[in-house]
Structure 1
C-alpha cells in the first residue's frame, strides 16, 4: 500500500502507518486495535489478490496473448 491510499473504495485511508476514516464532513483517527487489525488484514489480502492477478496477466501474456 502506498504512503496514503484509500482501501478498496472504503472510507479507510492509511497514512504514515495509521488508519483514518475519511468522509466529506471530516476525518477521524481509527485507534481501536481490533478494528485496525482487521483493516491491516484486509489490506494485506487485497495486496495479495492484486499480485495474483498481475501474475496471471503476466503468465497469459507470456503464453501467447491476452485472452479474456
Structure 2
C-alpha cells in the first residue's frame, strides 16, 4: 500500500477482532490478520453503518435537566 492512510487500521467496533484497512475488512488475531470474505464484509459494512447512525442519534439527544434535590 502506497498511502500511509490506507495502511492504517481502524477499529470501528472497539475491542472486536476486526479492523478496516484500505477499504478492506480484516479479521485480526495475535498471529496476524486475514481478509474477511465478501459475505462477512457486507455484514460488517451494514453493522458499521448502523452503529454510526446510532452514535449520531445518541449524540443528538438533549441531556436530561438536573433537578434540585438530586431527583
> TM > 0.5 between the two?
yes
**Which residues of structure 2 form unaligned runs of 5+?**
1-7, 67-71
What is the TM-score of this pair, normalised by structure 1? 0.71
Looking at CA atoms only, which structure, 1 or 2, has the larger radius of gyration? 2
Size of the aligned set, in residue pairs, is 58
Regions of 4+ moved over 3 Å: none
Normalising to structure 2: TM-score of the pair? 0.68
- Is 1:36 the equivalent of 2:63? no
Map of 1:2-13 to 2, 5 A cutoff? 4-8=9-13, 9-13=15-19
Identify the structure with the greater helix proportion: 1
